[in-house]
Amino acid sequence: MTLALRLRGVQKAYGKVQALAGLDLDIPRGAAVGLVGPNGAGKTTTFGVIGGLVRPDAGEIDILGGGAFDPGTHRGRVLLLPQDSELNPHTPVRTLLVNLARLQGMTRGEAGRAADGVLDEVELRDRGGFRVGQLSHGMRRRIAVAQALLGSPELVLLDEPTSGLDPALVMRMRDIVRRRRGAITLVISSHVLSELEAVCDHVAFLELGRCVRQGQMDEVTGRTRRVRVVLAKAPALVDVVAALPGLRPRLEGASVHLLVPEGETVASVNRRVLPGLISAGMDVLEVSLGEGLEAAWMEGRGGREETSA
């Protein structure tokens, strides 16, 4: 597996607050990675360290095989949507994007074409002549995302790209990210885990400045090995066990949780589960894979809290 990003033992403290406490992180090339963690977990500092905005105290960083961030090596190849950063309000939108593209090494003509391209992508071409300060919050956010897509970046870091946006804009942003998925390496942080689940194929959980878990989204959410069946009413466990021989169901109210046994697939389990439950007189309302990113995250937190207790 070729890595786009490799962090080893990265540390960063702000006074007495340890924002990163030996962070290890591997981001495969071409992956769309969701960075998940509570406030203060170190997500923004991680983005800052990768983008060269924050000076780490210790650790190793390798970006696209070229070592730690260096504008000479990485400019235009690594782009970032920084959190809580305001675009200059006096500058016209297109001029701003052209200027930033020129700083990536493009000529004025190339920069103009790149700016028009990303303005099309965020559907704000008609606002190109407006000053940034004249735009709504949502539009400014889209422009901020657009600048992170200028040119041909290989690694794009988006820190809370949908924060403060209404649902329609969130969907539009999701589409923008989806269009780029696979072509570039994306690292996205968000508190909206369903959004990350919909867009990302990898996930990394950060807590207290460390990566506590990372892997493929399907693996982490259990999509490849967990089946959840929602019944019309809560059954007795003995009835479910009797209806599903060879499986070891776990009951949570009206939800039946099943682990796919070794050597079987989700499809083969489903072939047995549905007829078994229906023939036992249970009404099936929903069958879903895995437990969702939110549940995986909470489960992990619960486990860690128990361990630490």
The distance of closest approach from Cβ of residue 9 to other proteins in the complex, given in angstroms and rounded to an integer, is 19
Nearer to other proteins, 86 or 305 (CB): 86
Nearer to other proteins, 103 or 278 (CB): 103
The distance of closest approach from Cβ of residue 187 to other proteins in the complex, given in angstroms and rounded to an integer, is 14
Nearer to other proteins, 109 or 167 (CB): 109
Nearer to other proteins, 108 or 178 (CB): 108
Residues near other proteins (CB under 8 A): 48, 51-55, 69, 71-72, 74-76, 78-80, 82, 84-88, 90-91, 95, 99-100, 102-105, 131, 144, 147
The distance of closest approach from Cβ of residue 72 to other proteins in the complex, given in angstroms and rounded to an integer, is 7
The distance of closest approach from Cβ of residue 84 to other proteins in the complex, given in angstroms and rounded to an integer, is 6
CA–CA gap between residue 287 and residue 154 (Å, rounded): 38
The distance of closest approach from Cβ of residue 104 to other proteins in the complex, given in angstroms and rounded to an integer, is 5
Residue where the block lists tokens 């939110």:
294
Nearer to other proteins, 3 or 13 (CB): 13
CA–CA gap between residue 281 and residue 277 (Å, rounded): 7
The distance of closest approach from Cβ of residue 289 to other proteins in the complex, given in angstroms and rounded to an integer, is 38
Q: Phi/psi of residue 195, each to 5°?
A: -65, -45
Nearer to other proteins, 81 or 277 (CB): 81
Nearer to other proteins, 102 or 180 (CB): 102
HEC-encoded secondary structure of the chain: CCEEEEEEEEEEEECCEEEEEEEEEEEECCCEEEEECCCCCCHHHHHHHHCCCCCCCEEEEEECCCCCCCHHHHECCEEEECCCCCCCCCCEHHHHHHHHHHHCCCCHHHHHHHHHHHHHHCCCHHHCCCEHHHCCHHHHHHHHHHHCCCCCCCEEEEECCCCCCCHHHHHHHHHHHHHHECCEEEEEECCCHHHHHHHCCEEEEEECCEEEEEEEHHHHHCCCCEEEEEECCCCCHHHHHHHCCCCCCEEECCEEEEECCCCCCHHHHHHHHHHHHHHCCCCEEEEEECCHHHHHHHHHHHHHHHHHC
The distance of closest approach from Cβ of residue 131 to other proteins in the complex, given in angstroms and rounded to an integer, is 8
User: Measured between alpha carbons, how far apart are the two ends of the chain, in Å?
Assistant: 37
Nearer to other proteins, 156 or 269 (CB): 156
Strand-pairing partners, residue 214, are: 204
The distance of closest approach from Cβ of residue 49 to other proteins in the complex, given in angstroms and rounded to an integer, is 9
